[in-house]
Amino acid sequence: MDDFEATIVGELDRWQRAGKVAQFWLRDDDAVEPTAPLERLLSISGAFSVPLTLAVIPAHTGAALVERLQPEPSCSVAVHGWSHRNYAGPDEKKQELGRHRPAAEILDELQQGFDRLAELHRERFVPMLVPPWNRIDAALVPQLAGLGYQALSVYGPEKPAALPLVNAHVDVMDWHGTRGGRDPQALAVEIAARLRFMFDHGGAVGLLTHHLVHDEAVWDFMTALFTVTADHPACRWTPVADILRKQQPSIG
């Protein structure tokens, strides 16, 4: 057993001894249409029976993605903003859903995005908003339920909010360095740390991927992670809709 496997399996074995099962879920951002990277993502997640949630950009998607996902029963679709357009200034962090435009304009786009994906994807649609760049003006969040949204998914530990949070916690990409896959052992350490927190406080491990920009390091990491977790009795890769249904108010 190498260090990567030992780090994750060692923590899952502790869960097994305690009679607990850790929930994992997979979120992949920026889906629009069928592509070779999407095929690879669907192939690897399907090979290990890992349910996949695609955060789809409503303004740029259409029937082609619907048709491609028809034979994928374990794939769900969430709303990834509207157009994934950055409205922030050059010295600010990128945002589509920030304070740079009137709230009414943003909410109208989020309603359009909800309605468009709900109509296109129907039973695989999850009424969850995934803000582009994982950022949203906090003043908008209390308005989301009125648009039909039942959950919000950003990045990092869940905090009290006006809408249930089902976050991603481990990002495979080295955005500020190589812009490729991060060191697999560093990712394993992050996953183990999240598992230790969950052991006492509950929650899930949300893995965040971006299929359009993966290098071989990311695909190798995903294969390694799924290999050591998919059949472990203390790990369950779970559809995000199931996590949302069972979620209790908590801080994670």
- Tokens 């034979």 belong to residue: 71
Tell me the CB-side half-sphere exposure of residue 82, using CA atoms within 13 A.
18
188 to 125, 134, 203, 213: CA distances (angstroms): 30, 22, 18, 21
What token pair was written down for 211?
């299929």
Domain ranges of the chain: 3-246
pTM, two decimals, is 0.95
Q: What pLDDT is stored for residue 143 in this prediction?
A: 97
CB 115 within 8 A of CB 88: no
**Helices marked H in the chain — which ranges?**
3-17, 36-47, 63-69, 103-121, 141-144, 184-201, 216-229, 240-246
Q: What pLDDT is stored for residue 134 in this prediction?
A: 97
Q: Which segments in the chain show pLDDT lower than 50?
A: 248-252
Q: What pLDDT is stored for residue 1 in this prediction?
A: 62
Q: What pLDDT is stored for residue 252 in this prediction?
A: 40
Closest CA to 203 of 17, 69, 24: 24
Q: Which fold has domain 3-246?
A: TIM Barrel (3.20.20)
